[in-house]
Chain A
Amino acid sequence: MKLEVVAIMVIGLFIIAFAFISSSGVYEWSGADSQAEEVVSELTGDSYQPWFKPIWEPPSGEIESLFFSLQAAIGGLIIGYFFGYYRKDRAT
């Protein structure tokens, strides 16, 4: 079977699982990183205080998503550029 077909099927399954779970209950869909923070405060009985704060934090969720999109865009650009380059390289 073609790899692309398998990939689409797996991603499809993933979407169905997501749709099923989100319809079956109320979830926060928060990041696992911040959930780990909660585990830390449970384990230490709220006594642990982070001893260093981020130098700069995105002021809002919008600005945070800007930097995430920027990260993906930089990556996508580089991948697309070189695959295009390789394609031309092979054609000549």
Chain B
Amino acid sequence: MHIMEGFLPHPWWEIWLALSLPVVGYGVYRVNNLIKEQRNALPLLAVSGAFIFVLSSLKLPSVTGSCSHPTGTGLTAILFGPAITSVLATIVLVYQALFLAHGGLTTLGANIFSMGIAGPLMGYTIYKIFMKSGFNLFLTVFLAAAMADLTTYIVTSLQLAMAFPASSGGVLASFTAFAAVFALTQLPLAIIEGIVTALMFKYILQAKSDVLLKLNVISETTLVKIKESLT
């Protein structure tokens, strides 16, 4: 999903940076609150950040004969919401821009927007809606993480399409071309990411369900039901 260094012309890189910065700023404020008020949730924050580190380092081959990588942001989005996720995604994106020449500093805003904001927001929304309707918990986590992953790549395609509209067909034709590269490759990877995230969520639930209650990730009644089915 990385837009390469220098590949977003003026004014697009400024626009995406301007959209992303306030969210990351708000995320930093939320992290600070967490540090002050919910210290027992901090290990979980470290784990979900580390999860993004691991998953976004894995380049997997896909059905299209090319490689791409999962984002790992779904877990943080479910546990802490999109704003905090954008902060963690920024750390990973800066690491990759500086040491790997993946993505870039000029495209950082656009990449933060797709991986750190749009994807997580989609995952978070799906999680909240499905949990309210009493859907199976692990299936919900799967869907939220897979859709967060896929949304990130669809937004990347859109960002590139808006910056490079085709001479015939415009933005829509460009979007189709970019989505053919990104979204299609990503589909199997999104499924894998969904299932790995569901697995991770299960282990967190088994290890530290009291923190999940405090963070309002699950309700008491769901927790009792899940604990029964797991034992």
Also in contact, A17 and B188, with CB within 8 A (given A28-B65, A52-B104): yes
Expressed in whole angstroms, the Cα–Cα distance for A50 and B105 within the complex equals 13
Contact B65 A54 (CB under 8 A): no
Bound CA–CA A54/B44 (angstroms): 33
Within 8 Å by CB of B177, from A18, A28, A39, A56, lies A39
> Which residues of B lie under 8 Å from residue A43 when comparing CB positions?
164-167, 174, 177
The interface on chain B, measured as residues whose beta carbon lies within 8 A of the other chain's beta carbons, has a size of 67
Q: Is the beta-carbon distance between B68 and A86 smaller than 8 angstroms?
A: no
Residues 1-38 of chain A: 1 if any B CB is under 8 Å from the residue's CB, otherwise 0?
00110110011001001100110010111111111110
A10 touches B195 (CB 8 A): yes
Shortest Cβ distance from B114 into chain A, in angstroms?
A: 12
CB proximity of A10 to chain B, nearest CB, Å: 5
Which residues of the other chain, A, contact B148 by a CB distance below 8 angstroms? none
Instruction: Report A-chain residues with C-beta under 8 Å of the C-beta of B191.
Output: 10
Distance (Å) between the CB of A6 and the closest chain B CB? 7
Partner of A82, one of B9, B46, B67: B46
Inter-subunit contact A21/B54 (CB<8 Å) = no
Q: List 7 A-B contacts (CB under 8 A).
A: A14-B192, A18-B61, A36-B181, A55-B98, A71-B53, A78-B53, A79-B54
Interface residues of B (CB under 8 A from A): 1-7, 9, 43-44, 46-47, 49-59, 61, 63, 65-68, 92, 95-106, 138, 156, 160, 164-167, 174, 177-178, 181-182, 185-186, 188, 191-192, 195-196, 198-199, 202-203, 207-208
**The 9 nearest A-B residue pairs measured at CB:** A50-B6, A27-B65, A75-B53, A75-B54, A78-B50, A52-B6, A86-B207, A54-B101, A75-B50
